[in-house]
Structure 1
Amino acid sequence: MNGIRVLVVDDDFMVARIHSGYVSRVPGFQVVATAHHGAGAIEAVAEHRPDLVLLDIYLPDMSGLDVLKALTGVDVLMISAARDVPTVREAMRGGAVNYLIKPFTAAALTERLQHYARTRKTFTAIGPEARQDDVDRLFGTPTTAATLPKGLSAATCALVAQTLREAGHDLSAAETAQLAGLSRVSARRYLEYLCADGRAESRPRYGSAGRPEHRYRWLG
């Protein structure tokens, strides 16, 4: 079986089914099992070895936070109606990779799953040892002028990133340059850096003749 393996844990059978449906519609993800109480979640992790657990907090036999502490070797995305700060903080301290407050839309869950997939991909690309900029990217630390390649400025990088993000669709280097008020060459350098940094992606678009045009899309 290929893809990121997911265990869905929720005390409500119907909610678990809905969340499983959300997950199954995201490319690269597959639900391997569901559980409806804490002990069952721990057993399911041992049996199915998922990569990611979608874990509710309010379970009939124990708190999902206690389940989180009991799990090892698996990533956990908390999904709960609990929104009080101590609970969210405890989830973070327990090692949850994200926290999604109920009720939420399929799009909200999809966004977090895609972010998780990108993080896993980044770990794979880094190799056996990480550089500081690799760690900063994984932990979401803002890029500073000190970590940018020589000749690039943090302010201009932020401008290009904002332009691409707010466009809502892919852009060429020329289109980005026009929107940001930069030269095409300069815009392309920053776009390529954002791609290398994992915040954007580049795809060729083939026309009727000549070389393909590279289109850039914001990933986050």
Structure 2
Amino acid sequence: MIRVLVVDDDFMVAKVHGGYVERIPGFTVAGVAHTGADALRAVHDLRPDLVLLDVYLPDLDGLSVLRELRADPATAHIDIMMITAARDVGTIRGALRGGALHYLIKPFSAAALRAQLEHFAALHTRLHQISPGAAAAQEDVDLMFGSRPRAARTFPKGLSEQTADLVEQSLRSHPEGLSAAECAELTALSRPSARRYLEHFADTNRAEVRLRYGGTGRPERRYHWRS
């Protein structure tokens, strides 16, 4: 079983996320913490395999917790996934540089968390199959670092990689799909800007466009990330 520590300042949200985890085969909740200090203690006491870490905590923020865990040799190996409503690029960049495996933006569905945890389970299993001195294949490296080489990404003039990452995370977090208006609200972009990024992902075959028909007027374009 993969043991998970859930860290969230909101008791009900932590309970919901814990319920999501418990419904996924192969995962169990090892513990719950509601402050940064409690999270650090729980990691030392429980030694979980994975920490689902919120950014907004009443004492230490999640990025500070992440840095402390990475700086301590006793906890540096524990994997951490950020689960938060924080969607500013600076925080996302800090999580990436701090060594977080993934960054899931609230609110998200049970399916979105399940997809990330199943990916983590595949990574966890593969890492245990490879001996420390063995040579890894490229597919193993892709699994560890992500499926798409960062250097291969190109964007039309006026689009930035940082904002594209934000839009991508929003789509990944909502497998039911997003409209341009919904994406704009989640990412704090203007609706035209959000639509430009969404259309770019559709044009490059990273997102799928589905039309949702209502009673009257033009159908709504909804964007779904291609997994």
**Match of residue 217 from structure 1:** none
Structure 1 residues not aligned, in runs of 5+: 144-219
Q: What corresponds to 2:141 in structure 1? A: 135
136 and 110 in structure 1: CA distance in 2 versus 1, 3 angstrom threshold: closer
Q: Which of 49, 52, 60 in structure 1 is aligned with 2:47? A: 49
- In the TM superposition, what is the alpha-carbon distance from 1:62 to its structure 2 partner? 1.3
Structure 1 CA distance, aligned partners of 2:44 and 2:9?
Answer: 19
**What's the RMSD between the two structures over aligned residues?**
1.5
- Calculate the TM-score normalised by the size of structure 1: 0.62
After TM superposition, give the deviation of residue 6 of structure 1 in Å: 0.4
Shift of 1:132: 4.5
State the alpha-carbon separation in 2 of the partners of residues 97 and 84 from structure 1.
18
Larger Rg: 1
The aligned counterpart of 2:99 is 95
Pick aligned residue for 1:118 from 100, 119, 122: 122
SS in structure 2 at match of 1:32? strand
Cα distance, 1:142 vs structure 2: 5.0
Contact 1:122–1:138 under 8 Å retained in 2 = no
Matching of residue 26 in structure 1 with residue 31 in structure 2: no
Query: Does 2:68 align with 1:70?
Result: yes
Paired amino acid for 1:95:
G
Query: Residues 142 and 40 from structure 1, CA distance in 2 versus in 1: closer, same or farther, beyond 3 angstroms?
Result: closer
Query: How much identity, in percent, do the aligned residues show?
Result: 58
Equivalent residues, number: 142
Q: Which residue of 1 aligns with 2:35?
A: 37
Following the alignment from structure 1 to structure 2, what is the Cα–Cα distance between the partners of residues 83 and 8?
19
CA distance in 1, matches of 2:126, 2:145: 11
| In structure 1, distance between residues paired with 2:52 and 2:147 | 25
Post-superposition Cα deviations, 1:2-52, rounded to whole Å, max 9, x if no partner, equal x00000000000000000000000000000110000000000001101000
Query: Using a 3 Å threshold, how does the CA distance of structure 1 residues 105 and 141 change in structure 2: closer, same or farther?
Result: closer
Give the partner amino acid of 2:48: P
